[in-house]
């Protein structure tokens, strides 16, 4: 270990001679704000959140006007109707966003919680206490509601938020961030606790990815391309979220009514999200009994089936599946279907092709259910339930900042405690180590 | 989110046409072994650990002979006596290593622990269960004991270990790894559960840093240069360990006897480790009472003092401190000393220059102690105790794999639970999401 100051040196100062970039300046201000946020009482934070909700409602007209500019630009660029819909803000949607912020105010504050505490034989009293992470950077795509959602979750957990949305939503995000900052100021909190990076150039995002010492964690929210760009380029610690190639395995001892209901729900409830099922594995022993009926049900629901050879014997209208189908996160009304010979092949398939997000078995067999839950290495492993339940709200966490598909720090839906770190506090009476 | 298979594709297969590198081949085998390790009972793992300890003792002669080659090479390169000492293995040291492995066998198994479990209103039963991380990569310097220590901790926590030591210890590491692999095989476990990367070229380490999908986490153990190289280059998640610029603040209301004992202990017990104190902050109100006596005591202990201007009024023999001294992790019998005007300046100094590892206050003042523990943002914050206690053994965790100075996943001494992730297991009766 060296005696050089290294990169820990002046976290506050810009590199000599160069004008300070927007990203660095805002990150530096966020770092200073984070020290104040970490010490705020729950009451102060909740009051600020309620002020933010009120301000978002009060500024609805301005926000909708700003959103109109984004929509107009997007239309001129010819973006898809689906994207336009995700981008659009209405008075009702803004009320929904404000309601979400108020819900965060109702959630328990994770900061200050004593995770565990014990006394050592030498009399030292050690406690592990939850503390904020510091500055949380969020790089996200299109949806402007993320601006308020993420800000609220960061604020409640005592973190400063550095938000970098996409260019498509820039005007909307600016209007929302301005309302949040005004509410922070009214509440006596630093405006810099929530900041939007307005530079939507790729280089600004890349600068965030390497701001070690100023940004404590980066959470990308969006498509696989965005997430992989952050994972590949960041030196700041990253929490990888969201890619879901989820499986349902219908075992030989499945209750086929449950199986059908679960498969249809997990594919068709809302197919564009990461916890939707993408591959159905059907045990060869129930292929004849299950495939024709699920084929009909899927067809009625408008789902395109891409099946292995054996699947196509029972579902003739299925297209032939190719190797890529087993890896695919369709996020569309498409389902890959494969017949497997027992639980070993099912687990091997999931381990090989899956994204370790959410995987389910349908079975009435006790030992098989136990094996599946032990051996499938995914963030959420289900027996006889839809993969759609992998969600902070459905788990009972209240809001979520994302669903982690990595193994470090947090795995699965991330609520407020996942936006904290801990520190050890040690009380002594002059103890020295012999 | 895309429908491309992307980098999650064939984790097993080498890039087409190229011969598979040692790193990728061993990582691939480790990944396969990890699936088996994750399912082993505690009894099987503990038996393997005891077999490893016995094998290390039985092969002591071979290990010492291999170590002799490393020592001879090191002497020819003219390395320092301190490094030779860290490299050297004796029969006694090997017994110490074996005893360490047996101690790991006695520790509780973190795998399978239910962290929390609850029932949702719809009847779903959700439990969060500890699971291994998978493949843990460790990149470390000189000391060959790390080979056995890290292997034992990974094995007990159900992880495969991919070890990459330094060229100086290559022969010793190979001998130790061979003994471990033989013991694994005798115990019916896969040899590939613990593997040493023998390619000591920098490119091999760099390959490890980017093996996403095969290596689940990288833990660098060594100097600041190594750690920063891993943080800067890795796309695999990293746990940053060990750099410690630790402070002791002697407050105006300190018991000066405790203060002297703590400062002398924290500087001189073993100055080359990351939890040693590097900067002493003395409140101006007790400068006259404390500095002359601590100056004498430090001098008697052979410690070089680098003081601010006010310090040098009371310790005339102190050298003048320069800006770099406040950032320095000396790891030597050198102490930077600064007089500060109260707790605000002390906390600001620690936040600005510190490494957020371990920082202590000496005070009898209740409110000041509370402020210090709340406001100092370090992995371990002490009141009236030596910073030397930041250590897995001293905390009561048994062995440790390192001391994390980052905020994600683990912070402070990392024991066995910090080498695990969790997954959610959800039991239902056919629930679908409405």
Answer whether A379 sits within 8 Å of B262, measured CB to CB.
no
CA atoms within a 13 Å half-sphere pointing along the CA-CB vector of A271: 19
Judgement on whether residues B262 and B382 belong to the same structural domain of the protein: yes
Answer whether A433 sits within 8 Å of B327, measured CB to CB.
no
CA distance B244 to A96: 47
Answer whether B224 sits within 8 Å of A427, measured CB to CB.
no
Judgement on whether residues B151 and B273 belong to the same structural domain of the protein: no
Total tally of structural domains belonging to chain A: 2
Give the pLDDT band (50/70/90) at residue B5: very low
Q: Which residue of B has its CA nearest to A117?
A: B395
Instruction: Residue count of chain B, please give it.
Output: 434
Q: What is the pLDDT along chain A (434 residues), one digit of tens a residue?
A: 333 333 333 444 445 567 899 999 999 999 999 999 999 999 999 999 999 999 999 999 999 999 999 999 999 999 888 889 889 999 999 999 999 999 999 999 999 999 999 999 999 999 999 999 999 999 998 789 999 999 999 999 999 999 999 999 999 999 999 999 999 999 999 999 999 999 999 999 999 999 998 999 999 988 888 988 998 999 999 998 878 899 999 999 999 999 999 999 999 998 888 899 999 999 999 999 999 999 999 999 999 999 999 999 999 999 999 999 999 999 899 999 999 999 999 999 999 999 999 999 999 999 999 999 999 999 999 999 999 999 998 999 987 888 998 899 999 999 999 999 999 999 999 999 98
On whether residue A353 sits in a domain, the answer given is yes
Tell me the three state secondary structure of residue B5.
coil
Judgement on whether residues B210 and B265 belong to the same structural domain of the protein: no
pLDDT of the residue at B7: 37
- Residue in B141, B265, B424, B427 to test binding to A, most A beta-carbons within 10 Å: B424
Answer whether A126 sits within 8 Å of B395, measured CB to CB.
yes
pLDDT of the residue at B83: 85
Q: Which residue has the higher pLDDT, B19 or B385?
A: B385
ipTM of the assembly?
A: 0.91
- Residue in B218, B271, B431 to test binding to A, most A beta-carbons within 10 Å: B431
Supply φ then ψ for residue B49, to 5 degrees: -65, -40
Q: Would you say residue B3 has pLDDT above 60?
A: no
Helix H or strand E encompassing B162: strand B160-164
Supply φ then ψ for residue A271, to 5 degrees: -80, -5
Answer whether A380 sits within 8 Å of B426, measured CB to CB.
yes
Judgement on whether residues A165 and A288 belong to the same structural domain of the protein: no
Which of B9, B408, B432 is nearest residue A261 as measured by Cβ atoms?
A: B432
The β-bridge partners of B140 are: B221
Task: Give A392 to chain B, closest Cα distance, Å.
Answer: 12
pLDDT of the residue at A308: 98
Answer whether B216 sits within 8 Å of A257, measured CB to CB.
no
On whether residue B177 sits in a domain, the answer given is yes
Give the whole-number percent of chain B exceeding pLDDT 70. Answer: 96
CA A224 and chain centroid, separation: 12
Task: Give A1 to chain B, closest Cα distance, Å.
Answer: 4
CA distance B101 to A228: 39
Judgement on whether residues A212 and A76 belong to the same structural domain of the protein: yes
Which of A38, A381, A408 is nearest residue B425 as measured by Cβ atoms?
A: A381
Structural domain of B345:
246-394
Judgement on whether residues B233 and B251 belong to the same structural domain of the protein: no
On whether residue A339 sits in a domain, the answer given is yes
pLDDT of the residue at B188: 97
pLDDT of the residue at A300: 97
Helix H or strand E encompassing A218: strand A217-221
Residues on chain B touching A408 (C-beta within 8 angstroms):
133, 216-217, 237, 239, 408-409, 421
The β-bridge partners of B404 are: B241, B412
Which of A126, A223, A388 is nearest residue B1 as measured by Cβ atoms?
A: A223
Answer whether A430 sits within 8 Å of B385, measured CB to CB.
yes
pLDDT of the residue at B16: 56
Mean pLDDT of B342-360: 96
On whether residue B231 sits in a domain, the answer given is yes
The β-bridge partners of A431 are: B385
Q: Report the CATH number that the domain containing residue B322 is assigned in CATH.
A: 3.40.309.10
On whether residue A431 sits in a domain, the answer given is no
> What string of DSSP letters covers B132-196?
E-SEEEEEE-S-THHHHHHHHHHHHTT-EEEEE--GGGHHHHHHHHHHHHHHHHHTTS-GGGEEE
Mean pLDDT of B23-50: 97
Answer whether A331 sits within 8 Å of B1, measured CB to CB.
yes
CA distance A110 to A106: 12
Instruction: Residue count of chain A, please give it.
Output: 434
Which of B6, B124, B433 is nearest residue A265 as measured by Cβ atoms?
A: B433
Give the whole-number percent of chain A exceeding pLDDT 90. Answer: 86
Judgement on whether residues B220 and B188 belong to the same structural domain of the protein: yes
The β-bridge partners of A128 are: A116, A424
With b meaning 16 or more CB within 10 Å and e meaning fewer, what string describes A418-433? bbbbbbbbbbbebbbb
Tell me the pLDDT tens digit for each residue of B191-244.
999 999 999 999 999 999 999 989 999 999 888 889 889 989 999 999 988 788
Average pLDDT, chain B: 93
Judgement on whether residues A280 and A205 belong to the same structural domain of the protein: no
CA distance A242 to A230: 13
pLDDT of the residue at B273: 83
On whether residue A267 sits in a domain, the answer given is yes
Answer whether B384 sits within 8 Å of A409, measured CB to CB.
no
Task: Give B358 to chain A, closest Cα distance, Å.
Answer: 9
Task: Give B222 to chain A, closest Cα distance, Å.
Answer: 7
pLDDT of the residue at A364: 98
| Contacts (Cβ under 8 Å, ≥6 apart) of A39 | B374, B375
Q: Which residue of B has its CA nearest to A331?
A: B1
- Residue in A426, A428, A429 to test binding to B, most B beta-carbons within 10 Å: A426
Residues on chain B touching A133 (C-beta within 8 angstroms):
407-408
CA distance B365 to A245: 56
Answer whether B329 sits within 8 Å of A389, measured CB to CB.
no
Judgement on whether residues A229 and A252 belong to the same structural domain of the protein: no
Judgement on whether residues A250 and A194 belong to the same structural domain of the protein: no
Residues on chain A touching B228 (C-beta within 8 angstroms):
6-7
Q: What is the DSSP letter of A20?
A: P
Which of A327, A390, A433 is nearest residue B269 as measured by Cβ atoms?
A: A433
Residue with tokens 């005798």: B186
Is the Cβ–Cβ distance between B278 and B329 less than 8 Å?
yes
Give the pLDDT band (50/70/90) at residue B81: confident
On whether residue A189 sits in a domain, the answer given is yes
Residues on chain B touching A262 (C-beta within 8 angstroms):
430, 432
Which of A1, A396, A424 is nearest residue B412 as measured by Cβ atoms?
A: A424
pTM: 0.90
Which of A217, A231, A395 is nearest residue B126 as measured by Cβ atoms?
A: A395
Judgement on whether residues A225 and A292 belong to the same structural domain of the protein: no
> Which two three-digit tokens encode residue A310?
């054996």
Answer whether B235 sits within 8 Å of A235, measured CB to CB.
no
Mean pLDDT of B397-425: 93
Which of A134, A406, A432 is nearest residue B386 as measured by Cβ atoms?
A: A432
- Give the pairing of strands B135-140 and B125-132: unpaired
> Which two three-digit tokens encode residue A432?
């020295």
Q: Report the CATH number that the domain containing residue A149 is assigned in CATH.
A: 3.40.605.10
pLDDT of the residue at B399: 79
Task: Give A193 to chain B, closest Cα distance, Å.
Answer: 17
Judgement on whether residues A52 and A180 belong to the same structural domain of the protein: yes
> Which two three-digit tokens encode residue A197?
């990076």
CA distance A95 to A78: 28
Which of A324, A331, A394 is nearest residue B5 as measured by Cβ atoms?
A: A324
The β-bridge partners of B255 are: none
On whether residue A432 sits in a domain, the answer given is no
Mean pLDDT of B58-68: 98
Residue with tokens 């193994």: A407
């Amino acid at each position: 270990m060296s005696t050089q100051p290294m990169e820990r040196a002046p976290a506050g100062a810009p590199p000599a001679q160069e004008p300070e970039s927007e990203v660095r300046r805002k990150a530096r201000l966020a770092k200073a704000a984070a020290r104040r946020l970490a010490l705020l009482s729950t009451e102060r934070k909740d009051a600020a959140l309620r002020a933010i909700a009120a301000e978002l409602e009060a500024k609805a007209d301005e926000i909708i006007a700003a959103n109109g500019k984004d929509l107009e630009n997007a239309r001129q660029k010819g973006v898809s109707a689906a994207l336009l819909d995700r981008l659009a803000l209405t008075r009702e949607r803004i009320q929904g966003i404000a309601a979400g912020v108020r819900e965060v105010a109702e959630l328990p504050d994770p900061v200050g919680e004593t995770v565990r505490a014990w006394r050592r034989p030498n009399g030292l009293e050690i406690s592990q206490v939850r503390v904020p992470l510091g500055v949380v950077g969020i790089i996200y795509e299109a949806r402007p509601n993320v601006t308020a959602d993420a800000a609220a979750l960061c604020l409640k957990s005592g973190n400063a938020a550095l938000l970098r949305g996409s260019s498509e939503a820039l005007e909307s995000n600016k209007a929302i961030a301005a309302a949040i900052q005004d509410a922070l100021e009214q509440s006596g909190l630093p405006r810099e606790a929530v900041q939007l990076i307005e530079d939507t150039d790729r280089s600004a995002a890349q600068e965030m990815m390497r701001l070690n010492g100023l940004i404590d964690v980066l959470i990308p929210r969006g498509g696989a391309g965005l997430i992989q760009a952050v994972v590949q380029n960041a030196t700041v610690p990253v929490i990888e979220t969201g890619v879901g190639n989820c499986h349902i395995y219908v075992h030989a001892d499945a209750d086929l009514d449950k199986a059908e209901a679960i498969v249809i729900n997990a594919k068709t409830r809302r197919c564009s999200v990461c916890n939707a099922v993408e591959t159905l594995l059907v045990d060869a022993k129930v292929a004849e009994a299950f495939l024709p009926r699920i084929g009909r049900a899927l067809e009625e629901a408008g789902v395109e089936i891409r099946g292995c050879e054996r699947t196509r014997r029972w579902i003739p209208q299925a297209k032939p599946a190719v190797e890529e189908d087993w890896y695919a996160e369709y996020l569309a009304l498409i389902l890959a279907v494969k017949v497997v010979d027992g639980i070993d092949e099912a687990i091997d398939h999931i381990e090989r092709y899956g994204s370790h997000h959410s995987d389910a078995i349908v079975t009435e067999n006790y030992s098989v259910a136990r094996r599946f839950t032990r051996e499938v290495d995914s963030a959420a492993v289900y027996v006889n339930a839809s993969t759609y339940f992998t969600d902070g709200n459905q788990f009972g966490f209240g809001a979520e900042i994302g669903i982690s598909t990595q193994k470090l720090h947090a795995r699965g839906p991330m609520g407020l405690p996942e936006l904290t770190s801990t520190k050890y506090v040690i009380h002594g009476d002059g103890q020295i180590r012999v």
